[in-house]
Chains A and B, each alone.
Chain A
Amino acid sequence: EADIYQTPRYLVIGTGKKITLECSQTMGHDKMYWYQQDPGMELHLIHYSYGVNSTEKGDLSSESTVSRIRTEHFPLTLESARPSHTSQYLCASLGVRADTQYFGPGTRLTVL
């Protein structure tokens, strides 16, 4: 079983608030990813990182930002949340010897 954690699991906040979604993995994986999952289930890559101090935007444009200061930690930040940010956010990681990405349990965000 993969060791990748996300907190909080559920978050309800008001418009305009700044939030950070946490993602940590204890497997020493270099590559980490953030996906946004629509209520209709589709998954879209919004950010990825191939190592410390490396971050890239994914296929779906997002107002969120990420950082990768430590290998095990890949937080996602929204400076000013809006109702359009309501979604589930899934974090994943991939190591050199891993053959597929391992996913965290997700954070379900609701912005009122």
Chain B
Amino acid sequence: GNSVTQMEGPVTLSEEAFLTINCTYTATGYPSLFWYVQYPGEGLQLLLKATKADDKGSNKGFEATYRKETTSFHLEKGSVQVSDSAVYFCALDQGGKLIFGQGTELSVKP
């Protein structure tokens, strides 16, 4: 079946550091891919998405590129801020249902 695997956390970075959170997937076909963010005490918010191979999703300085050849959708940001501290989830769409990775907690220190 379809699945999503994320790098384990927690990830701790200093402010202005470069961020990469790895995400790989297993799927039949080419599902849409998403990154969601969950701030403390809140629900999930869509951060960015890509619907086909080589698409790049971007939002708030975050980027991820849909790589068919490596079945990956890694999340990157060039310079993180304290306010980026949250849990990040990679997900794929399976016929209207989302399959999530296990989440990666990011902590950014001033």
Interface residues in A71-91 (C-beta closer than 8 Å to B): 90
CB distance from B89 to the nearest CB of A (A): 7
A1-38 vs B, CB cutoff 8 Å, 1 = contact: the mask equals 00000100000000000000000000000010100000
Number of A-B contacts (CB under 8 A): 46
Select which of B43, B98, B103 is within 8 A of A106 by beta carbon.
B43
CB atoms of B43 and A42 under 8 A apart: no
CB atoms of A41 and B102 under 8 A apart: yes
| Nearest A-chain residue to B9, judged by Cβ | A41
Among A33, A40, A50, A99, which residue has the most Cβ atoms of chain B within 10 A?
A99
Q: Which residues of B contact A40 (CB under 8 A)?
A: 102
| Nearest A-chain residue to B49, judged by Cβ | A100
Q: Which residues of A contact B100 (CB under 8 A)?
A: 42-43
With an 8 Å Cβ cutoff, the count of chain B residues facing the other chain is 20
Please report B residues at the A interface, Cβ cutoff 8 Å: 32, 34, 36, 42-46, 49, 51, 87, 89, 93, 96-98, 100, 102-103, 105
CB atoms of A41 and B105 under 8 A apart: yes
Q: Which residues of B contact A59 (CB under 8 A)?
A: 97
CB atoms of B98 and A90 under 8 A apart: no
Please report A residues at the B interface, Cβ cutoff 8 Å: 6, 31, 33, 40-43, 45, 48, 50, 58-59, 90, 92, 94, 99-106
CB atoms of A105 and B105 under 8 A apart: no
Q: Which residues of B contact A42 (CB under 8 A)?
A: 100, 102-103
Q: Which residues of A contact B102 (CB under 8 A)?
A: 40-42
Q: Which residues of A contact B87 (CB under 8 A)?
A: 41
Select which of B32, B43, B51 is within 8 A of A103 by beta carbon.
B43
Among A50, A58, A106, which residue has the most Cβ atoms of chain B within 10 A?
A106
| Bound CA span A103–B96, Å | 14
Q: Which residues of A contact B49 (CB under 8 A)?
A: 99-100
| Nearest B-chain residue to A99, judged by Cβ | B49
